[in-house]
Amino acid sequence: MSEATAPKAAAPKAVDAPLTFLDERLGSTTFFKRNVKKVFPDHWSFMLGEIALYSFIILLLTGTFLTLWFQPSMHETVYEGSYEPLRGVKMSQAYASTLHITFDVRGGLLMRQIHHWAAILFMASICAHMLRVFFTGAYRKPREINWLIGIVLFTLGMLEGLFGYSLPDDLLSGTGLRITQGVLESLPLVGTYGYMFLFGGEFPEGMNGELIPRLFTLHILLLPGIFLALITAHMMIMWHQKHTAMPVKNQTEEQVYGYPFYPVFMAKTGAYFLFTFGVLALLGAFAQINPIWQFGPYDPGAISSGSQPDWYMGVLEGSLRIMPNWEITAWGHTLSLNVLIPALGPLGIIFTGAALWPFLERWVTGDNRSHHVNDRPRNAPVRTGVGMAAVTFYGLLWLAGANDVIAERFHVSLFATTWFFRVTVIIGPILAYIITKRVCLGLQRSDANVIGHGVESGIIVASPDGRFSERHEPAREEERITILSKENARPEAPATDANGIPAPGTKGPLGVLRSRLQRAWTFDDIAVEEHEHGNGHEGHELEAGKSDKELRH
What are the tens digits of pLDDT across the range 515-546? 888 888 888 888 887 765 444 443 333 333 33
Give strand ranges (E) for 56-112.
Answer: 76-78, 90-92
99-119 pLDDT, tens digit each? 999 999 999 999 999 999 999
- Alpha carbon of 64 to those of 68, 213, 365: distances in Å? 7, 16, 48
Q: 3-class SS at 81?
A: coil
Query: Is 15 domain-assigned?
Result: no
The CATH number covering residue 280 comes to 1.20.810.10
Is residue 3 one of the residues assigned to a domain?
A: no
Task: Report the pLDDT value the prediction gives residue 457, as an integer from 0 to 100.
Answer: 77
Q: Per-residue pLDDT for 233 more than 80? A: yes
How far is it, in rounded angstroms, from Cα 278 to Cα 271?
10
Q: Are strands 90-92 and 76-78 parallel, antiparallel or unpaired?
A: antiparallel
Instruction: Name which of 157-166, 191-200, 266-275, 531-540 the model is least confident about.
Output: 531-540
Q: Beta-carbon neighbour count of residue 383 at 10 Å?
A: 22
Of 271, 302, 333, the last residue of a domain is: 302
Q: Is the pLDDT of residue 128 over 70?
A: yes
Its pTM stands at 0.87
Q: Under a CB-based contact definition with an 8 Å cutoff, are residues 517 and 364 in contact? A: yes
Residue 447 has pLDDT above 60, yes or no: yes
Query: Within its chain, how far is the Cα of 314 from the centroid?
Result: 16
Other C-beta atoms lying within 10 Å of the C-beta of residue 301: 5
* 312 lies in some domain: no
Q: What is the mean pLDDT of residues 176-202?
A: 85
Mean pLDDT, the chain, whole residue set: 85
Number of domains in the chain: 2
Q: Which of 269, 302, 335 is the last residue of a domain?
A: 302
* pLDDT value at 9 more than 70: no
In a domain, 71, yes or no: yes
Domain final position from 254, 269, 302: 302
In a domain? residue 497: no
DSSP symbol at 92: E
- Structural domain of residue 277, as residue ranges? 36-302
Nearest residue to 299 via CA among 211, 178, 174, 164: 174
Q: Is there a domain that residue 406 lies in?
A: no
- Which of 328, 331, 317 shows the shortest CA–CA distance to 162? 317
C-alpha span between 28 and 13 (Å, rounded)? 18
Residue 330 within any structural domain of the chain:
no
Structural domain includes residue 527: yes
